[in-house]
Amino acid sequence: MTFSDSAYAAFAAQGRGVRSPEEVSALMKLTPLGPCIGVSVTDIEPRQLGDSDTAAALGEALETHGVLVFPELHCDDASQVAFGKALGEPDVFPIPTGDHAEIFLVTLDPAKNPAASYLQGTFFWHIDGATDDVPNMATMLNAVGVADNGGGTEFCSTYASWDALSADDKAKYKDLRVVHSMEASQRLVYSDPTEAQVADWQARPSKEQPLAWTHESGRTSLVLGATTDHIVGMNRDEGRQLIDHLEAWATDERFVYHHDWTVGDLVMWDNRGTMHRALPYDADSPRLMHRVTLAGDEAFA
């Protein structure tokens, strides 16, 4: 059974409707980008993304493949937001940066994004919302500007890396709990923080999460990333060694899709079954992403 087959089997076990390849091909063309993560979506127009049938088929493809790549789609903000609303509930930002309060600008330019310094943390593998009860369901980036050098984005399937573990390892890890914190992720960026920085990080609540998250679908994914602090009930050094070992396992190239951006690309990832990271780029680079983030639909369990 291939990785995609196992995902479809999970849909079927739940009695959820999965469109046949013929039904999907009437709406769009799907081309897998690797054995376990990523699918290219073509033969589709931006205005179709908000259509309920199309969005539902894309939602199924997202859960199956982890990452949807729409090469050079050149999606406008309205179509991007409509797609988000057709699939879930987009986060709304109190200070809109354009015509749509659902669009967040991802740039290292502090003039365009006052929270640019926090984006330094996105250069490390992470899950969006790992310190929350319910992580974000999905996130999409629309490339308005791209870096001249670097600035790619990498994604790894945390379903595939769990599935590939031996039965013995699964038995050892399945009940472990891990504390995630903002402090852990920021210490990767700032090795010598000020007292004020540490106080700010520690003011944000940490959260205990399962290492192995068994979803309502029956599939299991690893919950790791930059926010991992320590394993509950384990010697701190021993716990860090295990976290580092599993992080290296989960981000091995066989589980990874690497995306080099072209202006107009739209990429969406299923945050429930993937980790992602940005690759470094210059702070004065023209790289600018319009991001829509969908609220979570399933708590860590």
**Residue number, 54 or 136, with CB nearest to Fe ion:** 136
Q: Which is nearer to Fe ion, 225 or 239 (CB)?
A: 225
DSSP letter string over 246-274?
HHHHHTSGGGEEEE---TT-EEEEETTSE
Least spacing, CB of residue 134 vs Fe ion, in Å: 16
With a CB cutoff of 8 Å and minimum separation 6, the contacts of 138 are 62, 87, 88, 268, 269, 270, 271, 272, 293, 294
Q: By Cβ distance, which residue is nearest to Fe ion?
A: 128
Q: Considering the complex, state which of residue 100 and residue 126 has its C-beta at the smaller distance from Fe ion.
A: 126
From start to end of 161-203, where are the E strands?
177-180
Report the SS3 class of residue 172. Answer: helix
Question: Residue 187 or 277: which CB sits closer to Fe ion?
Answer: 277
CB of 122 to Fe ion, least distance (A): 5
Q: Smallest gap, in angstroms, from Cβ of residue 271 to Fe ion? A: 8
Query: Shortest approach of Fe ion to residue 39 CB, angstroms?
Result: 20
Smallest gap, in angstroms, from Cβ of residue 49 to Fe ion?
A: 21
Q: Using an 8 Å Cβ cutoff, are 129 and 294 in contact? A: no
Q: Using CB under 5 A as the criterion, which residues of the chain lie in contact with Fe ion when the complex forms?
A: 128
The DSSP output letter for 279 is P
Q: For Fe ion, which is the closer residue by CB, 63 or 128?
A: 128
Q: How far is the CB of 12 from Fe ion (least distance, A)?
A: 31
DSSP state letters, 74-96: ---HHHHHHHHHHHS-B---SS-
Nearer to Fe ion, 128 or 154 (CB): 128
Strands 104-106 and 256-259: unpaired
Taking the least distance from each CB to Fe ion, the nearer of 127 and 165 is 127
In the bound complex, what is the minimum distance in angstroms from residue 47's beta carbon to Fe ion? Answer: 27
Strand partners, 65: none
Could you give the maximum distance between any two Cα atoms of the chain, in Å?
A: 59
Quote the CA–CA distance of 299 and 44 in Å, as a whole number.
Answer: 32
